[in-house]
Amino acid sequence: MTRHYFGTDGIRGTVGQPPITPDFVLRLAHAVGRVLKRTQARPTVLIGKDTRISGYMLESALESGFNSAGVDVVLLGPLPTPGVAYLTRAQRASLGVVISASHNAFADNGIKFFSAQGTKLPDAWEHDVEAALEEPPVWADSANLGKARRLDDAAGRYIEFCKSTFDSNLSLRGMKIVVDAANGAAYQIAPLVFHELGAEVIPIGCSPDGLNINRDVGATHPEALVRTVRERGAHLGIALDGDADRVLLVDGAGRLYNGDELLYLMVDDRLARGEAVPGTVGTLMTNMAVELALRRRGVEFVRAKVGDRYVLEELERRGWLLGGEGSGHLLALDKHTTGDGLVSALQVLNACMRSGKTLSQLLEPVRLYPQTLLNVRLQPGQDWKSSTRLAQAQREVEAQLGETGRVLIRPSGTEPVLRVMVEAADEGLARACAQRLVEAVQAG
């Protein structure tokens, strides 16, 4: 069955355009409620949101839709996506719902769901919901309507959870840390987490107005963080995105570290403590230098499709704990059931404080390979997969790169464009090889 509404991470779009309209979101919540009631007499759903102005409207629609199906609702207010996942599990709720479009601008919004265990839900569940959306509503009568209440200390509970993932024998005293919450869901929580662990915190991107989420701040725009770290003489900078499930770090010199590097650091810290790390999962885009560095440490590395959902599926299939993406979605499944920017940052700080080393010192074994990514517009009906010219060019490029580089050619999921990526130890070689492949595509 093809999904009409659900994408790789819930339902997302522009507010005021289908499906992100109040009438559809009400119907969606009603359909989800009916699916829940097939197995539970009185389900309870938690609803959290980021700071977009549209969150008020969508929260009301969700509340009405769930209540109309006989489902109780607990409103959490602004809370990071991983915070909703944690509280869903901790509160023994039936489902967690997040109103967020993550790193997108304020004009977008979305709805995503977590299971009672705080995990992403399977495709089969999404298919059930889409089928229920096609059915006429069955409104509960007055005696069986759901109720709604607010959990006033939701933020405090999540703060304590985050702190519990940091080594209790360590402190951040003496550390000056710039915290950039992207004017998003963690704008109150993130500064408090690091402050309560002892750090001097300089907050930026912590003044949301409903319209400025992810605007020139946060993990998608780390320039503000780099600048502030340098200007204020901070030891470290931490950039979250709008719903705080991804993180990037900046060291005292203003050098930015992406998710690939932070994943290696998390693995290295486990190994330094004598823990077994049989393997880790990245994506098709993970930098080859990280893969090679992990293999030198005896850690198997596997690539999943791009998207934290696919990284999680591969980790669960193999029984491994650590994985992530260059964008900063990092998974440590012995700490949390989902990607969490704050928890990931604390794992990195654990490593720094335990070792007494800076990020640059800890990442000395990893020198990221230059990547050249070029987009080629495809002609209508162009079958690039059958192109013998492209296949021949790819074979020759891969032979030229050998073990010191790689090629990735994949279509865009949203436009008629082919993405050609070449990674090599030498930047000029990567650029030349990518251009050669682009010319082969254009030649047909």
Which stretches in the chain have pLDDT values below 50? none
Question: What is the pTM for the complete model shown?
Answer: 0.92
Q: What is the rounded CA–CA span in Å between residue 30 and residue 63?
A: 9
Q: What pLDDT sits at residue 7?
A: 87
The model's pLDDT over 58-116, given as tens digits with 9 standing for 90+, comes to 999 999 999 999 999 999 999 999 999 999 999 999 999 999 999 999 999 999 999 99
Q: What is the rounded CA–CA span in Å between residue 365 and residue 7?
A: 37
Phi, psi at residue 143, to the nearest 5°?
A: -70, -20
Cα 387 to chain centroid, rounded: 35
Full set of structural domains in the chain with CATH = 11-152 (3.40.120.10), 157-254 (3.40.120.10), 257-362 (3.40.120.10), 371-443 (3.30.310.50)
Q: What is the rounded CA–CA span in Å between residue 279 and residue 64?
A: 45
Q: What pLDDT sits at residue 404?
A: 87
Question: What positions carry a catalytic annotation?
Answer: 102
Q: What pLDDT sits at residue 414?
A: 67
CB 239 within 8 A of CB 249: yes
Nearest to 347 by CA among 162, 159, 201, 184: 162
Nearest to 282 by CA among 329, 346, 248: 329
Q: What is the rounded CA–CA span in Å between residue 114 and residue 402?
A: 43
In SS3 terms, the chain reads as CCCCCCECCEEEEECCCCCCCHHHHHHHHHHHHHHHCCCCCCCEEEEEECCCCHHHHHHHHHHHHHHHCCCEEEEEEECCHHHHHHHHHHCCCCEEEEECCCCCCCCEEEEEEECCCCCECCHHHHHHHHHHHCCCCCCCCHHHCCCEEECCCHHHHHHHHHHHCCCCCCCCCCCEEEEECCCCCCCCHHHHHHHHCCCEEEEECCCCCCCCCCCCCCCCCCHHHHHHHHHHCCCEEEEECCCCCCEEEEECCCCEECHHHHHHHHHHHHHHCCCCCCEEEEECCCCHHHHHHHHHCCCEEEEECCCHHHHHHHHHHHCCCEEECCCCCEEECCCCCCCCHHHHHHHHHHHHHHHCCCHHHHCCCCCCCCEEEEEEECCCCCCHHHCHHHHHHHHHHHHHHHHHEEEEEEECCCCCEEEEEEEECCHHHHHHHHHHHHHHHHHC
